Structures are given as structure tokens and as C-alpha cells.
Structure 1
Amino acid sequence: MRFFQALILIPIAILALVISFAEAYDPSPLQDFCVAIDDLNGVFVNGRFCKDPMRVNAEDFFFSGLNVPGNTSNQVGSNVTTVNVDQIPGLNTMGISLVRIDYAPHGQNPPHTHPRGSEILVLIKGTLYVGFVSSNQDNNRLFAKVLHPGDVFVFPIGMIHFQVNIGKVPAVAFAGLSSQNAGVITIANAVFGSNPPIYPEVLARAFQLDENIVKELQAKFGP
């Protein structure tokens, strides 16, 4: 009887272990700080190597420049200034990062997703139309709002989301993310600009488009 009880408990224990790992997107700190450092003699792992704590200084936790507007003279009319573990090594293992987003009039941060973090955005200046789309399981529902200065909106991890400046003046927002390096996948770039390209006939059928239109989009978004 005890043998069969043990057999039942083993998969339960494994499931609990998997769930605990799945919920930990970033490594948890086991000390006061783990300032990231490149180690050419080491092996790349999920996270970074730690700087000798005795060599850590205030500069490892500092970044300057978020008061400077980003250049929005591009095809989408927006600029994202990222402050993650690459800019502040002291963010390593802390599970947070920050961005400043500048939008030209009618500019947008096109549909994209962050594979490793949720996002909370606060609008400082201008008027934005923002939203995210839920998963297939939830029937791809759109959750969208028009934001004014001081408004806050949350984008859950992994959900495709966007922001559009619907005003006639530049807009500025700041956003925090629940990862030291949340990553970003811009949908159009990933689908139509992959390297090497996805077979046009595959995308034509998936998006119900003419194959020539797909090739045109691949020419625009391609490397």
C-alpha cells in the first residue's frame, strides 16, 4: 500500500516543482545584490555572472538620460528608451526594468509582446489609445482605453499589446516591467521579417492574403 502511495506522490511532487519553476521568470536573489558582469571564460546561462561584491559601487545601480526625448523620426513614429540589466548591471536578479516611450503625433508603438514580463504604463504627456488582446482560449478579446496624463494601464505578460498617439502633440509615457530583461517581439517584424523568411504560401494561407501581398510585406520588413 505504501509503495502505491509513493507512486501517487511522485508525480504530484514533480508537478509542484514544475509549477514553482514556471512562476519564476527571473532568477531570485539569494544575496543583497548580484551586479551583472560579462565573463568571457564562463558559460552563458539564464541570467548573468555576479561581480565581486567588494568591487561593486554606486555606478552599478545608476543610469542617466531618461529626461532626454527619444528620436521619433522613423516609420512607426515612436522611440523606446530601455533601462534594463544591460544599462544598469545592478538590476540583475531584481526582476524589474524600465522604459521611456516617446510618440510623435499619430505615432505608435506597434503590436508587440514581452515574453518574460508584465508591463505597467503611466502616461505623462499627450493622449494615447492603448490595449491588449487576450489569448485564443479567451476568444482574443480586446481590452483598450484612451489614456490621459496620469492614467495607468497594465499589459499582462505575453499578451499582444500596442499604444497609439491619437493626439496632435507629442506624447510621453514611462513603463515598468516585471523582468530585468523582458524582451520584445514586434509582431509584424517577427512574422514578415524573419531571417530566413517564412515560406510566402504559409503566411498567405495563415492571413488569408494573396501571396504577392505577403512577398511585398516581406520585402518591407525583411532584413
Structure 2
Amino acid sequence: MKVGIIRFPGSNCDRDVFHALELAGAKPEYIWWSKRDLSDFEGIVIPGGFSYGDYLRAGAIAAITPVINGIKDCVKEEKPVLGICNGAQILAEVGLVPGVFTENQNAKFICKWTELKVNSTRTPFTSMYKKNEVINMPIAHAEGRYYTENLKKLHENDQIILSFESENPNGSMEAITGVCDEEGLVCAVMPHPERASETILGSDDGLKFFSGMIKY
């Protein structure tokens, strides 16, 4: 499976995602923000980092780059798209997932391992987990607090895919830290599965995110 990894000025988790995708058996390739045609790729991952220095707000400038049109075309073609941390902020900014990821409740950058509950297994990225399974992945963000005005709709459509289990470190609504679109093919998560892709890192719970994408 050929998977594109989007690169913006300020992306810093692209190499980690590349390695995790290789571990899962994919054929990753970097894509710069200026590329419009993504038709050669079977899936897309938008990695974490600080695109354009998070000026204005996280993901705001990345949201108006040419590659976003290519990502939207991939969504129309029902290809899986995963946004991690800054990638999640970008997907929310362009409206490909509901809600927003805004400033943490304590207004500080948080970097720590967290326990997460897998709320939905209907997406390619969570299909290899069990519903309500508790997994471990790290977070690293200053703007990860999830908010939406359509919480009822999220529950009705099974669009909440991850939530914090033992604590709510950033003050997210209902401890939500991962959501998907109505079809379940576009997922935005604040935790970093690529940083939990090998036991030497402390956990390999995140590898299934990429293995599930390839299986799909």
C-alpha cells in the first residue's frame, strides 16, 4: 500500500510516521504541501508538528495550502486519511472532521503518556482493536482540547474513536481525543500512534493504527 505523508514547514513527526508505516508493511512516501495531485496514493497521513509555527492558530495556514485540495479528493475517492496531533488540528480546520482542537485548559504544552479507550472500531485505523480496549500512547500538544457543538450527533453516528481513560489532561469535552467523519474513513487523533509503534519506545499499541489502515 502506497501511503503519502504530508510535509509542511514545521512538521516534525514525519520521519516517525514513515518508520511506523514501514513497520506495518506500507510503502510510505513524503509529499510536500505544494503538491495538488495525490491520485497515486492509496492512503494519506498528516503527521504532527507545528505547521507554519502554529501562527494564527494551529493548522490555520496549512489549511489553505494546495495539498489540502488533494486530500479532499482522496476523501471523495474513499481513501483512508489520518491526521495526528497537528494533522488532527488541520483536518478539523478544513472541516473534514467535526469540532475543533483548541488551547489546553491549563494553557500549557502537555507531553506525557496517556491511557486511552478505543470507543469505536469501525474505522480502518481502529479496526484491529477491541471496542472499549484500553491502550497506551503519548500526547504532546498545547492545543488539543476537543470541543464541538454537535456532541449528540457524534454519539449517534459513532464518530468518537478515542477518549482519555484515567484522566482528562487537556480538558477536552467528555475527554474526547479522537474523532472521525461520518463515513469513518477520515480520522483525527491527538495522541501519537507512531510514538507507540515499538516496545522499545514503551508501547507498541499504536502500530495497529497503521496496520489497520493497510488491512483496509
Fold-level similarity (TM above 0.5): no
TM range (shorter): under 0.3
When Rg is computed on C-alpha atoms for both structures, the one with the higher figure is: 1
Q: Which has the higher contact order (CA 8 A, sep 6+)?
A: 2
Q: TM-score, normalised by structure 1?
A: 0.27
Q: TM-score, normalised by structure 2?
A: 0.27
